Amino acid sequence: MKTTCLIIDDEPLAINVIKKFLEPIENFEVINTFTNPIEGLLFLKSNNVDVIFLDINMPVLDGINFIKSLENPPLVIITSAYSEFAIQTYELDVLDYLVKPIEFPRLMKTLNKVSKRLENKNNSSQESSTENPFIFIKIDKKRMKKVFLNEILVIESLKDYLKISTLTGKYIIHSTLSSFTDLLPEKNFLRIHRSYTIAIDKIDAVEGNSIEIEGLRYAIGRSYMDQVKQRILNSSN
């Protein structure tokens, strides 16, 4: 199956550079391009893609606010002539940041990241069909800890680290919330905020814009509200 790509950049020349690089790579397919980010948003409302190549400096809607407006963003790769936005965009869990002019060897490293992330996500979905699936997390330089998925309560983002709260303990690991959430089966876990992913079956109560788990409340982000309500309603049917 091909990895579907969307390119959004207000410079047609920049779009053509990425398209030319991707043309000979069989497992990647550019399904559309936009110079107007608003048109790109409308396209995403009715179409699914695996990855977006997204410029930062664009009129009307810049790349950062574009990402923030997405309820369930695909993998995002920033393409920009300016490196100073890198830290800000990584806080939004972008997969990679490419500085223009983009060179083919650097793009290939990014495509390898995309393939690995999608492969891990697919493998995680397959593992979820086993009787008691688990993952290993690296809790220090020498120790890997087995964590059963049915024991996870909440995963909380702490910038470059995560706090994983389970029925049996809490663990701090070096990872982003987006990359870790991608490893979890979608039917069991739900991202409710830029800072939180929760286990659906561990929800004790939903009140207003928050979810209660084990006596603690976790805010539901405004951009996640509709998706969260829909998933919770579906899980109760």
Residue type, 179: S
Question: What span, in angstroms and rounded, lies between the C-alpha atoms of 232 and 3?
Answer: 29
Q: Is the pLDDT of residue 122 over 90?
A: no
Question: What span, in angstroms and rounded, lies between the C-alpha atoms of 179 and 51?
Answer: 14
pTM above 0.85, yes or no: no
Look at residue 153 in the predicted model and tell me its pLDDT: 96
Higher pLDDT, 10 or 89: 10
Look at residue 113 in the predicted model and tell me its pLDDT: 87
pLDDT above 70 covers a percentage of the chain that reads: 94
Q: Is the pLDDT of residue 63 over 50?
A: yes
Look at residue 111 in the predicted model and tell me its pLDDT: 93
> What are the structural domains, with CATH classification, of the chain?
3-126 (3.40.50.2300), 134-236 (2.40.50.1020)
pLDDT tens digit sequence for 66-97: 998 887 889 999 999 988 877 777 677 788 99
Q: Running DSSP on this structure, what letter comes out for residue 102?
A: P
Helix (H, G, I), strand (E, B) or coil at 162: strand
Look at residue 233 in the predicted model and tell me its pLDDT: 74
Question: What span, in angstroms and rounded, lies between the C-alpha atoms of 122 and 138?
Answer: 21
Instruction: Say which residue the tokens 């919330």 belong to.
Output: 177
**H helix runs in the chain, sequence order:** 12-22, 37-46, 63-68, 86-90, 104-127, 177-182, 225-236
